[in-house]
Amino acid sequence: MEPILIIKSADFLGSAVKAAQYPGHELPELAFAGRSNVGKSSLINCLLQRKKLVRISRTPGRTQTINFFDINHAFCFVDLPGYGFARVPEATRASWRPMVEAYLTTRKQLRGVVQIIDLRHPPTAHDVSLWNWLKNRGIPAVAVLTKADKVKHGQWPEHARQAALVLGLSVDDCVLFSALTREGRDILWERLARLLDLGVSAPASP
Ligand code: GDP
């Protein structure tokens, strides 16, 4: 077995709304995308074993910046603004697409995107649209079905099958996840380590 990845440091680097504000490093980056309130902040905090590194939102749709986090001074997590929340102002909603597309199409060190979807419901039109856009661009993407703890275990296969079908994946390609129980954390880390080409396996669970 390869050495285990340990999270030694996780630091907020800054926010950006345009390319000039992206950090100047050349570290490989992984971006996280999902509908507002889907559980993206919770998932990132769970991966990093940090309770409050990424703020868990009380006002869905409020954060409209791209946020960069340095991990172990070896790679970078990029928290993309959430999409698809009905109650955000139209101007905010309209700015999402160019801001996010600019990052996804121009950032040279982007290694892949983690797209987070709610296991409880079929992927939304927004989810599918982003997923297909990533696929058409050839950007590697991992589909994570989160809030698994809110679905009865016996119903997981059916929910996962439906999501996989809509996304054009096999069920085994989807990662079932729960920030509450940490279900899927190690499997997701394995996938991320592969995208980052770290040559290590998942971090040790405490
Ligand atoms: P974001 O807007 O996508 O960053 O979503 P948050 O991480 O802020 O989560 C939105 C809400 O869902 C919060 O109340 C979280 O506590 C809750 N939540 C997030 N992930 C999970 C999960 O895996 N299980 C459960 N039961 N609740 C979750």
The residue type of 88 is: V
Mention every residue, 6+ apart, whose C-beta is less than 8 A from residue 179. 39, 42, 43, 45, 46, 146, 147
Distance 64 CA to ligand 1 centre (A): 17
Instruction: Provide the sign of the torsion angle of the four alpha carbons 121, 138, 76, 184, taken in this order.
Output: positive
pTM (2 decimals)?
Answer: 0.93
- Where in the chain are the domains? 10-196
Is the CB of 62 inside a 6 Å radius of any atom of ligand 1?
no
Distance 7 CA to ligand 1 centre (A): 22
Q: Which fold has domain 10-196?
A: Rossmann fold (3.40.50)
pLDDT of residue 2: 47
Is the CB of 182 inside a 6 Å radius of any atom of ligand 1?
no
Q: For residue 28, give the nearest of 60, 76, 87, 79 by alpha carbon.
A: 76
Asked if 164 and 173 touch (Cβ cutoff 8 Å), the reply is yes
Q: How far apart are CA 67 and CA 23, in angstroms?
A: 10
pLDDT digits (tens, 9 = 90+) for 84-137: 876 677 777 788 889 999 999 999 999 999 999 999 999 999 999 999 999 999
pLDDT digits (tens, 9 = 90+) for 28-77: 999 999 998 999 999 999 999 988 888 765 555 555 899 999 999 999 99
The residue type of 130 is: L
Mention every residue, 6+ apart, whose C-beta is less than 8 A from residue 182. 46, 205
Distance 175 CA to ligand 1 centre (A): 16
